[in-house]
A and B are shown apart, each in its own frame.
Chain A
């Protein structure tokens, strides 16, 4: 295999860097994590001419090389380490034509590291509309680079970019700014102490920790110690560097770029006026949320029914066409129902990720942050907490990672702690199946489905408990921190179908495979535990016949009696009976108890577990929902899932911290076991108490 060209894609947030990445790699990409840290690593392969290939690494968006978060730090780590296998042969800095001035700051810093650098100016299609004109040859000369005008939206300029990547060896390595002008005396001294080192690289290593000390830095090599200057002096030098760079950029653009200001007035300001209005802003925001949640419930019911039916038919087919034996029943009663329990929720999860991707892509999310900041601050949160709280409806893990751009440590910590209250997509399976059992299929005002409204209420409950918990934490947490908040308000954009779809597919895939593995393993374990047992289990037929000496039972009734006796005396039955006293005050039997315990690792396992337990020895009902509906209380003969126990279960899942992955990510982001442990104890206790009270009142 020929050597691939290593390309690093860099740029400010909101420059369309991800669109450029998607255009270059198509679906030829994979998303992972950097070893030891939870920073997302996106990489892909791009085909160049004559069979040559480039390996493209999409680095986290950053405003400069002065790290202030773990994501930004990852960029610097890579650019400072020539031995890293991903160290770029060539850097592509993506800029947006309307924010060129600010975007060039990062460009000049990368250039000064003497990495071959291509300047990709994205959104070039907006130039005419905004009356912007650029003197490309002059700009190339001033910045010592090659410039490519791109339009990711119209797929223009990518051939030129690929050509430049191929010819990266021709790129000039001249720096933009002479490092020593920042502080001649200081840098002379530095150069004398480390004559062999590149001065700018050295400077970045020294200042790497100045704005970034609070967070975990596992897997990061220690910087060279040159702390002859105090932190405040270094900070001042960084400020000076920024000012010098802006001077250079201003001087350069003065002669190469013209903007007709009169024409730049646009619909952005008109839209802003409505979307951030002190009344309409909120009305629109809540309308958007309502539409999203209604849509998730209503639209996805069709594909979900289809999937449920398909899995039921597959189970049936396996039972009838494969030879009878342990393997067949493991497949039909263990694996298939378990997997069906997760695959059925793909439509909903995909819709949720789709809407969140659209909100982010259009630039609307920043307006919501702006609108909500003052309100959220009353509860010890930041306007930026809105993003984690909303994306927490998909999954708490990326949501907790999304708190990284909250500058204030206390606000960030509170956001991390309360995010698991929001209704994540793993709760959805549990909610949906229980709602469909206990809430009648009616329409309110002929428009909203009652089941949809119940779900909306549960989402609302999730947000409300998050906010309330934040309010309490704000009162009791004593964390010293400085108040600071800045957010970019990007231009409004029509979301690009390709970006949105790729995000949706990637996120759904990782959710399903991540959860799928756990569910697969647990469903096999459960099947074994439910299909075998000690002592009495193996003599079920004799015991049943003894209890009924006159042989009055029909063949079917006798089989059913044997099977239910076996389930109760199987290993899982014995375990379930042991915990039954704990869960029965909440209105659950031992089967639900087992499902709750097994779903401690991940909530969605609940449905899979019940599906597996109920399918062992139940041949009449095929779909999960029908099996659950057919469960009756052994003494009362009424349905197992009645209104009281159903509501109690819904509330238990609304509050319980049933997700190991979330606890792990909280541990990583807070660098302490105290916070996840507190979260687990508090949320589980709350869930138990609320479910207990609810059941006792309703019953």
Chain B
């Protein structure tokens, strides 16, 4: 299944599922919840971290965490 870690710059997706055991609560609080739209805005040099727009919240996370967030690509 596709995850945020596999997104291309500018691509959009809908979060389908989050691995709740491996994702910290803080990320959920910042809007990283199933059903929300996510856009990959920018990739940092050396391909990590990822700069995302999740449900209107702008945040950056590392690839290893991004790989735990499953999405349906738009």
Chain A residues proximal to chain B, CB less than 8 Å: 63-64, 66, 68, 98-99, 101-102, 105, 211, 232, 235-236, 238-239, 242-243, 246, 269, 272-273, 276, 278, 281-282, 366, 369-371, 373-375, 383, 407, 483-491
Contact = CB atoms under 8 A, between A and B. Distances in A.
B44 A371 contact: yes
Contacts of A66: 25, 29
Contacts of B29: 63-64, 66, 102, 105, 242
A276 B58 CA distance: 14
B26 A102 contact: no
B28 A375 contact: no
Contacts of A242: 25, 28-29, 33
Given A486-B60, A489-B58, A489-B60, A239 B24 contact: no
A488 B58 contact: yes
Interface of B: 20-21, 24-31, 33, 41-42, 44-49, 51, 55-62, 64-65
Contacts of A105: 29
Contacts of B20: 236, 239
A362 to B, nearest CB: 15
13 contacts: A66-B25, A68-B25, A235-B25, A242-B28, A246-B31, A374-B49, A407-B26, A483-B62, A485-B62, A486-B24, A486-B26, A488-B59, A490-B58
Nearest to B20: A239
A641 to B, nearest CB: 44
B33 A370 contact: no
Contacts, number: 111
A101 B56 CA distance: 8
Given A101-B57, A369-B60, A485-B62, 15 more contacts: A63-B30, A68-B25, A98-B56, A102-B30, A211-B24, A272-B41, A272-B42, A370-B60, A373-B62, A374-B46, A375-B46, A383-B49, A483-B64, A485-B61, A488-B59
Nearest to A378: B46
B14 to A, nearest CB: 14
Contacts of B24: 68, 211, 407, 484, 486
A350 B60 CA distance: 32
Nearest to A281: B45
B69 to A, nearest CB: 12
A99 B57 CA distance: 7
A239 B30 contact: no
A116 B45 CA distance: 47
A238 B46 CA distance: 35
Nearest to A371: B44
A243 to B, nearest CB: 6
A102 B57 contact: yes
A370 B42 CA distance: 10
A485 B68 CA distance: 13
B22 to A, nearest CB: 9
A483 B48 CA distance: 13
Contacts of B31: 101-102, 246
B47, B48, B57, B61, most chain A CB atoms within 10 A: B57
Contacts of B62: 373, 483-485
A276 B26 contact: no
Contacts of A102: 29-31, 55-57
Contacts of A276: 42, 44, 51
B41 to A, nearest CB: 7
A68 B45 CA distance: 29
A358 B29 CA distance: 28
Contacts of B45: 278, 281-282, 371, 374-375
A-B CB proximity, top 6 nearest:
A278-B45, A374-B46, A489-B58, A485-B62, A64-B29, A63-B29
B32 to A, nearest CB: 9
A102 B57 CA distance: 7
A64, A236, A366, A486, most chain B CB atoms within 10 A: A486
Nearest to B62: A485
A274 to B, nearest CB: 11
Nearest to A488: B59
Nearest to B28: A242
A371 B60 CA distance: 10
Nearest to A240: B20
A369 B48 CA distance: 12
Contacts of A369: 60
A235, A242, A243, most chain B CB atoms within 10 A: A242
B44 A489 contact: no
Contacts of B46: 374-375
A374 B63 CA distance: 10
